[in-house]
Amino acid sequence: MVSYKLKLTIKFVNHFKKIPEKYHRSLKEAIEETKEVPFEGKPLARELARRRTWHVGRYRIIYGIDEKDGLITLFNVDLRAVVYN
């Protein structure tokens, strides 16, 4: 099994910092799990095509997979109601 490396966008980092601390642990655990099984995230459509979402309670992590380079890019993390906007 391949473990992917992570690349965090500035948008992801800025949004992560705004999330209450009590959710950080579960989000970090989900990110680690995403590295091991990236294709289990739900594929997105339309303007977010080629990206996937990982659900963590009320939050969603939006990411993309580069199989060739073994890289997962984390694009955004936020509440479900706003993350797709």
pLDDT tens digits along 12-33 = 999 999 999 999 999 999 999 9
In this structure, is residue 85 part of a structural domain?
Answer: no
Is 90 exceeded by the pLDDT of residue 3? no
In this structure, is residue 59 part of a structural domain?
Answer: yes
pTM, 2 dp: 0.91
Parent domain of 31: 5-79
In this structure, is residue 49 part of a structural domain?
Answer: yes
In this structure, is residue 84 part of a structural domain?
Answer: no
CATH number of the domain to which 16 belongs: 3.30.2310.20
Contacts 24+ apart (CB under 8 A), 58-65: 59/19, 59/23, 59/27, 59/83, 60/84, 61/27, 61/30, 61/31, 61/34, 63/34, 63/38, 65/4, 65/38, 65/39
Q: In what order do the strands lie in the sheet with 5-8?
A: 5-8, 71-79, 59-66, 52-56, 42-43
